[in-house]
Amino acid sequence: MKAVLSKEVGGPDMLVVEDVAMPEAGKNQVLIEVKACGVNFPDVLMIQDLYQFKPPRPFSPGGEVAGIVKAVGEGVTHVKPGDRVLGSTGSGGMAEYAVAAAHGVMKIPDAMPFDEASAFILTYGTSYYALKDRADPKPGETLLVLGAAGGVGIAAVELGKAMGLTVIAACSTQEKVDFCLSKGADKGLIYPTGSLDRAQQKQLSEDIKEAGGGGVDIIYDAVGGDYAEPSVRAMNWEGRYLVIGFPAGIPKIPLNLTLLKSCDIRGVFWGAAVARNPKGHAANCADMFKLYAEGKIRPHISSSYPIAQAADAIRELMDRKAMGKVVVTM
């Protein structure tokens, strides 16, 4: 079978596509004939050895796939060969066949295309867990989404609206803001790119306060870096700041701000939450599939690449050009 391989540390240009042996489904595992693989920011980090988990090389990037069950290992009863499924693999997904742990595999609706299924569970799973389980949202509250045009960001926009929140989409360009508005965001704002000086940070904080009518209740930060502190400074009393990711760098936030606003900084580690509370994850997935069936959420595939061009797919995400999700098809 063909697989995208990271054989040495580096960027997307270091990836190769080679023929490798097909994996086998072991105990409590499922072998999936991959039809599509969603590209996510951990893929960018993993090939550079910058992610918290470092698979032994050579490995294939790709943490979420959709396809058809080829075989199941001992102990697997909830899916069978021939079923249409999505699966969380951690890595190994950019290949014609991939193995996933049984608890990370679930059937998908017949009406859900494989590309949408491969772009569904990580982004919506992360954002639904963040908003429902970590943010304690109340209808009418204001949600600020930083990096709103990205995969998890646009999922947060859609889910925030479905939860009755007023959503402000913060992005780096007007094109991205317009995209978020088309997906249901109530307002948008443009922030500068690169390192922000103190004057730019102060202006960003003022812009957020203005968009939020004085402040915001929930901050979904998928950017980090110099954008974090000004966002917290724009938070309302007893607000909740959700730590999602750090493509702009790991921020340092003065803790006196949490005292002055009696606000919370809350980590969002969806993958660990799934492992620790599989029943809660199953309930959240049922909720998300219901929202999908009702047309309230739907993955936006901004680009689709064949397996031979998987490096270009990861590069698009690395360069922050994606609006929605990027997918590699087999």
What is the number of H-type helices and E-type strands within the chain?
11, 15
List, in sequence order, every residue forming a beta bridge with 99; answer none if it has no partner: 31
Q: Give yes or no for a contact between 48 and 33, defined as CB atoms under 8 angstroms apart.
A: no
Phi and psi, residue 67, nearest 5°: 175, -150
Please give the mean pLDDT across all residues of the chain. 95
pLDDT score at 323? 84
What are the DSSP calls for 15-63, one per residue? -EEEE-PPP---TTEEEEEEEEEEE-HHHHHHTTT-SS--PPSSB---S
pLDDT score at 322? 82
Structure letter (DSSP) for residue 263:
-
Average pLDDT, integer, range 223-231: 96
Under the banding of pLDDT at 50, 70 and 90, the label for residue 53 is: confident
Each residue of 166-197: pLDDT tens digit? 999 999 999 999 999 999 999 999 999 989 99
Q: Give yes or no for a contact between 194 and 227, defined as CB atoms under 8 angstroms apart.
A: no
Q: Give yes or no for a contact between 29 and 101, defined as CB atoms under 8 angstroms apart.
A: yes
Angle at 246 between CA 269 and CA 90, to 5 degrees: 45
Residue 327 pLDDT greater than 90, yes or no: yes
Any idea which residue has 């072991």 for tokens? 26
Residue 321 pLDDT greater than 90, yes or no: no
Q: What percent of the chain has pLDDT over 90?
A: 91
Each residue of 63-103: pLDDT tens digit? 999 999 999 999 999 999 999 999 999 999 999 999 999 98
Which H or E run includes 178? Answer: helix 174-182
* Residue-range domains of the chain with CATH: 2-120+299-329 (3.90.180.10), 123-269 (3.40.50.720)
Residue 278 pLDDT greater than 90, yes or no: no
Each residue of 191-224: pLDDT tens digit? 999 899 999 999 999 999 999 999 999 999 999 9
Average pLDDT, integer, range 14-32: 97
Residue 271 pLDDT greater than 90, yes or no: no
pLDDT score at 235? 97
How would you class 18 by CB atoms within 10 Å of its CB: exposed for 0-12, middle for 13-18, buried for 19 or more?
exposed
pLDDT score at 275? 85
pTM of the model: 0.89
